[in-house]
Amino acid sequence: MNESHAVTQVSFEFFPPKTEEMEKTLWASIERLSVLSPRFVSVTYGADGSTRERTHAAVARILKDTSLTAAPHLTCVGASKSEIDEIARDYWDMGVRYLVALRGDPPKAPAGNAQQYTPHRDGYAYASDLVAGLKKVADFDISVAAYPEVHPEARNARADLDNLKRKIDAGASRAITQFFFDVDRYLRFRDCCAQAQIETAIVPGILPITRFPQLQRFAEQCGATVPGWLHERFQGLDDDPDTRRLIAASVAIEQVRLLKKEGIDEFHFYTLNRSELTYAICHALGVRAEQAAA
């Protein structure tokens, strides 16, 4: 397939900061990346609604102090339908038009192990139910999650695909994938979505690698594969942050270049509240401040 000449669109994910120092890093990153005119910037929501107030505060500041489109995450965990609907109405009244709707992860047990997900007795059971409920509250533009390597709790790939279709049919506008490093795996997943008559955009989620051990933990939690060649690239660089950044940038730039050759013209970046790598990758994609301003 020839490389796409369509305008490349990007979106960025941030998480609400816990400390004053983290808050400074977050807002410096938002300021740096805002010149790239993202479609939206999402703000995550902790397990069991544990960051609810901080998520809300971050969204409110984005709306007040920037021209960016904020997309708060909402989950099914730890809240009744009426509570979630009230949060959604408050967001709509604030001017929020984009949401990211997720089932969400249950809080960890005291020993640190993940608990089995159990739907809230009075809540939305799964993400497809949440999407349908949110669309009844207001005409939000809703993004949902997709898993090129299958959700770790899914029975199989077919069941996972059926679940994605339910979310799209409930009213979601796009699916954003979990991060991945095997481009061919993403392309096969995109083909499977098309065969299942999922016609919405399947936006690749890109995770720039800031620290390799952290990446390995994330991958274990979500069932993503870390290829052997990636281990080799980062081997021996634990105490060499400058070389790590160079390798991380080259890995992600090659990934998005291959995806763009296959006609992909929208990307979602898991920034981890850092701007440097994401900015560099966007520059390589051709997403630049002067073009965004034009």
Catalytic annotation, residues = 13
Neighbouring CB atoms inside 10 A of 12's CB total 25
- Label the pairing between strands 201-203 and 205-206: unpaired
In 3-state terms, what secondary structure has residue 55? Answer: helix
Token pair listed for 92: 């709509």
In 3-state terms, what secondary structure has residue 60? Answer: helix
Burial class (CB in 10 A: 0-12, 13-18, 19+), 35: middle
Output b/e per residue, 138-168; b: 16+ Cβ within 10 A.
Answer: eebbbbbbbbbbbbeebeeeeebbebbbbbb
